[in-house]
Amino acid sequence: MPSAFEKEKDNSLANKSEKITETLKRAILAQRLLPGAKLGERDLAEKFDASRIVIRQALIRLANDGLVTIERNRGAFVKKYSLQEAIEIYDALTLIEQGVAAQLAARLDRAGWQILQDHIKLQADAIEREDNDMADDLGAGFHSLLVSLTNNRVIQDIHAQVVQRSHLLRSLHISRFDYCNLLEEHSKIVDLLQRGRLKQVMELIDHHHHHVVRGYVMDFSDHPAMSLHEALSPFIAEGGGSGASVGTAE
Amino acid sequence: MPSAFEKEKDNSLANKSEKITETLKRAILAQRLLPGAKLGERDLAEKFDASRIVIRQALIRLANDGLVTIERNRGAFVKKYSLQEAIEIYDALTLIEQGVAAQLAARLDRAGWQILQDHIKLQADAIEREDNDMADDLGAGFHSLLVSLTNNRVIQDIHAQVVQRSHLLRSLHISRFDYCNLLEEHSKIVDLLQRGRLKQVMELIDHHHHHVVRGYVMDFSDHPAMSLHEALSPFIAEGGGSGASVGTAE
DNA sequence: CATCACGGATTGGATACCAATTCTCTTTTT
DNA sequence: AAAAAGAGAATTGGTATCCAATCCGTGATG
């Protein structure tokens, strides 16, 4: 009876509250809930078929991660970052990734370099296929991959946190940046890193993020912002969602 | 009636739940609640004269900050970091402060350097007075001060988060490290930084944290750990606390 | 002696209810 | 008629109470 394989230590989202947190987070990061969108407790409770309490717990977690703001007696909203904050976020990202690069330049082994180059090749293929969504994911994933090679979960978590916030900025800008260019920079980073040209790597990462943030055309107008129901339906198991056009909004 | 000075935007802990969060955090960081201590919802609710729900919200926030762990159906405990995690935390701290140092070396103006040197002098005075607690605070404060000079709130918050976690490590080690030595290093950091000797600064920061983490003698035995009531009474407004021996445990 | 079953005890969650604040829309006043 | 004032609805913050699930220790049982 006591099969030895039971204690899987299923750490993944045992709590309803955490599940809701993750779902909301995904909806926000996927830009289905845009900055400024109101996250009413009653509405969410209804959509998730949960009590207001677990909703509030989820909102507290998201607020703690900087993805929503909770205004007293007014409610929770998807966080709207200012241009100044956008710059700070990218500066933080630069700082972290520069530090990671320095660590990796000293410590990474052959297998590690291979992983990075494989990843870059994947992205290059995606671009050739003109699979923009995939290229987007891989392009962002490159940075996370870089960080994960430090084998330091604390740094990974911090980095992930800042990356998440940076996703909130993407809905504030219009122009899509040039993937090829970014890819080339990624490739150059790995190359320089491997050859120990640390200083140039630093400058490149700095330039890389400046390139992104400068590409932003801040757009603080109020977007139409689909309703909560529309925004969340593809994430909550139930028919309703005409899930065709999830990825690309405009 | 509408006095122009009313909208003070009192952002400071309007919520009961947040107040409790901060109080618990202070108690944990002050090492009155040691790693492994159980934070029972019922007990806390009683001590804070609050409902279990706001307690849980506070615990969720603390868990999100990595100060407590919540084990399903078992409760919340002050987080007990492993040696591996301790190393990761100090690595993260090193990474952040190195990055900050690099930024400051390029950007800091005269007033900034003065602030740093004033701070060091304060600590030196405290050491001469043999005011260990003060020296401790100032020593830790140096790093936060350094980070705050970036004028980047995101980086400051991240740094503060990691520093908080590092406080949880201090209760796991026995030997107190040598303040004078650390002070000297701080002073040297500022000096080198100002002269643009970036590489040496990096090595010094690295060495600095290694110095701390190597000074640790991990002690995983269960400390007696005073009761919740004892631990929290000085933080909750009421007579009870014989506040004499708060700072220095052993 | 090992195993299983049975109660506490604690957490996770739901529901109902109330207080405080904000928002909105109507009413009143000038 | 425009602006100020006010009443009422809606929303959040919080409490109390109840119930289900789970964990843990204890004791019965083979």
- Give the mean pLDDT of chain B: 82
Residue B138, judged by CB atoms within 10 A of its CB (0-12, 13-18, 19+), counts as: buried
Residue B75, judged by CB atoms within 10 A of its CB (0-12, 13-18, 19+), counts as: middle
Q: Where does B16-80+222-238 sit in CATH, by number?
A: 1.10.10.10
Which superfamily does CATH assign the domain made up of B83-215 to? GntR ligand-binding domain-like (1.20.120.530)
Give contacts of A213 with chain B, Cβ < 8 Å: none
Element (H, E) at B68: strand B68-71
pLDDT tier for residue A151 given thresholds of 50, 70 and 90: very high
- Closest-CA residue of chain A to B161: A158
Task: Decide if pLDDT at B185 tops 80.
Answer: yes
Which of B60, B85, B91 minimises the CB distance to A57? B60
Residue A100, judged by CB atoms within 10 A of its CB (0-12, 13-18, 19+), counts as: buried
Report yes or no: B149 and B108 within 8 Å, Cβ to Cβ.
yes
CATH 1.10.10.10 residue ranges of chain B are: 16-80+222-238
User: In this structure, is the CB of residue A73 within 7 Å of any atom belonging to strand D?
Assistant: yes
Q: What does the block give as tokens for A157?
A: 């978590």
Residue bearing the bigger pLDDT, B66 or B216: B66
Q: What does the block give as tokens for B208?
A: 């600095």
Neighbours of B69 (CB within 10 A): 18
Asked if B15 has any chain A CB less than 8 Å from its own CB, the reply is yes
**Testing the interface with B: which of A7, A60, A84 to mutate, by most B Cβ within 10 A?**
A60
Give residues with Cβ within 8 angstroms of A45, minimum separation 6: A51, A52, A55
Q: Do A158 and B158 touch (CB under 8 A)?
A: yes
pLDDT at A219: 56
Asked if A155 has any chain B CB less than 8 Å from its own CB, the reply is yes
Q: Which CATH architecture has domain A16-80+223-239?
A: Orthogonal Bundle (1.10)
Report yes or no: B44 and B35 within 8 Å, Cβ to Cβ.
no
Length of chain B: 250
> Shortest CA distance to B98 belongs to which of B199, B12, B187?
B199
CA B72 to C1' D22, in angstroms, rounded, equals 8
Report yes or no: B232 and B27 within 8 Å, Cβ to Cβ.
yes
CA distance B59 to B53: 10
User: In this structure, is the CB of residue B74 within 7 Å of any atom belonging to strand D?
Assistant: yes
Mean pLDDT of A178-196: 80
Neighbours of A222 (CB within 10 A): 9
Question: Which nucleotides on chain C have any atom < 7 A from a protein Cβ?
Answer: 4, 10-15, 20-23
Q: What pLDDT digit, counting tens, does each position of A36-82 carry?
A: 999 999 999 999 999 999 999 999 999 999 999 999 999 999 999 98
Task: Decide if pLDDT at B8 tops 50.
Answer: no
Q: What pLDDT digit, counting tens, does each position of B75-106 carry?
A: 999 999 988 898 899 999 999 999 999 999 98
> Shortest CA distance to B65 belongs to which of B132, B182, B162, B151?
B162
pLDDT at B179: 56
Which residue intervals of A108-131 are DSSP H helices?
110-128
Q: How far is CA A25 from CA A21, A181, A231, B6, B135, in A?
A: 6, 29, 12, 36, 42
Mean pLDDT of B117-141: 89
CATH 1.20.120.530 residue ranges of chain B are: 83-215
Task: Decide if pLDDT at B242 tops 50.
Answer: no
User: In this structure, is the CB of residue B110 within 7 Å of any atom belonging to strand D?
Assistant: no
**Testing the interface with B: which of A154, A158, A162, A163 to mutate, by most B Cβ within 10 A?**
A154
Q: How far is CA A209 from CA A7, A55, A196, B151, B227, in A?
A: 44, 35, 21, 18, 50
CA distance B224 to A72: 40
Q: What is the pTM of this model?
A: 0.84
CA distance A227 to A206: 38
CA distance A107 to A112: 10
Strand arrangement, sheet containing B68-71 = B38-39, B75-78, B68-71
> Closest nucleotide to A75's CA, by C1' atom?
D12
pLDDT over 70 for what percent of chain A? 79
pLDDT at A96: 97
Scored b (16 or more CB within 10 A) or e, B113-129 reads beebeebbebbbebbee
- State how far residue B62 is from chain A, nearest Cα, in angstroms: 10
Report yes or no: A81 and A35 within 8 Å, Cβ to Cβ.
yes
* Angle of CA points A141, A146, A147, to nearest 5°: 100
CA B64 to C1' D19, in angstroms, rounded, equals 28
Give residues with Cβ within 8 angstroms of A141, minimum separation 6: A119
